[in-house]
């Protein structure tokens, strides 16, 4: 009988590239992680990071329950390539009453099915491609996270256009309808954004707002309007 703790923060099913990276990052951040995969070699590679790493030959509901998946707060199913297994596994995990179930999808059709059965859906390859494309297309946008179809969080490197101005003087909220949520200056980051905080060239500003508003600010930083 596999031993497991009453509650575990994260459960990860499938140790492909995405699942392995996710499990490693969470475990190295000292978060409690339970990992399941059919490959003994993959499980061996991550056992030094978590005691809750188990080889499961077939992802039946009974096998996952025995391993302790039912007791996880969040379970991420990382089996996007095997669509039938992905959907059945997701359905079984949801039926166990896990509070939050996230499933990887490799196509919109697969994602729609996963959403219909009650899972949150992620598209890792699509999201990474989108972030890379935006970094290539936008000279001042350093990174990009999409919250939905219209709202994003972006990092922008400041230029001389607003260097020396305070947050109040730059008036980013009124001019561009963007909220500043963090600022990095000389490798120090603050989220305490006050009106008298001074902005300098090469500071990294993190803003949240609509994509077109961010594009306007980026255009101003690059060329001025």
Q: Helix/strand/coil (H, E, C) string of 2-64?
A: CCCCCCEEEEEECCCHHHHHHHHHHHHCCCCEEEEECCHHHHHHHCCCCCCEEECCCCCHHHH
Residue bearing tokens 């060239």? 201
Across-strand partners of 104? 122
pTM (predicted TM-score) = 0.61
Q: Do domains 8-125 and 133-222 have the same CATH topology?
A: no
**Cβ burial, residue 11 (10 Å; 0-12/13-18/19+):** buried
Tens of each residue's pLDDT in the chain, 225 residues: 444 446 899 999 999 888 998 999 999 988 999 999 999 999 999 999 998 999 998 899 999 999 999 999 999 999 977 899 999 999 999 999 999 999 999 888 999 999 999 999 998 877 766 665 655 555 555 555 666 667 888 889 999 999 999 999 999 999 999 999 889 999 888 888 999 999 999 999 999 888 889 989 988 998 754
| CATH (residue range 8-125) | 3.40.50.720
Q: Where are the domains of the chain?
A: 8-125, 133-222
Fold for the domain defined by 133-222: Alpha-Beta Plaits (3.30.70)
Tally helices (H) and strands (E) across the chain. Answer: 9, 11
pLDDT of residue 191: 87
Query: Quick check: 57 and 63 in contact, CB under 8 A?
Result: yes
Query: Quick check: 168 and 174 in contact, CB under 8 A?
Result: no
Compute the distance between CA of residue 187 and CA of residue 136 in angstroms, rounded to an integer.
23
Across-strand partners of 141? 156
Residue bearing tokens 């491609």? 129
């Amino acid at each position: 009988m596999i031993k497991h703790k009453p509650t575990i923060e994260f459960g990860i099913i499938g140790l492909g590239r995405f699942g392995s990276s996710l499990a490693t990052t969470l475990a190295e951040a000292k978060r409690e992680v339970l990992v399941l995969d059919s490959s003994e070699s993959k499980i061996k590679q991550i056992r030094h990071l978590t005691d809750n790493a188990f080889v499961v030959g077939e992802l039946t509901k009974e096998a996952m329950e025995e391993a302790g998946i039912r007791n996880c707060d969040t379970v991420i199913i990382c089996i996007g390539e095997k669509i039938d297994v992905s959907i059945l596994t997701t359905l079984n995990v949801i039926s166990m009453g896990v509070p939050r179930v996230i499933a990887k999808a490799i196509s919109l059709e697969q994602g729609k099915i996963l959403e219909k059965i009650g899972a949150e859906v992620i598209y890792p390859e699509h999201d990474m491609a989108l972030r890379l494309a935006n970094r290539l297309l936008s000279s001042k946008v350093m990174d990009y996270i999409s919250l939905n179809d219209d709202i994003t969080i972006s990092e922008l490197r400041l230029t001389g256009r607003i260097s020396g101005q305070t947050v109040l003087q730059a008036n980013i909220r009124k001019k561009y309808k963007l909220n500043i949520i963090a600022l990095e200056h000389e490798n120090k980051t603050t989220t305490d954004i006050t009106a008298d905080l001074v902005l300098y060239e090469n500071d990294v500003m993190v803003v949240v707002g609509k994509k077109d508003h961010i594009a306007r600010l980026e255009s101003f930083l690059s060329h001025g309007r």
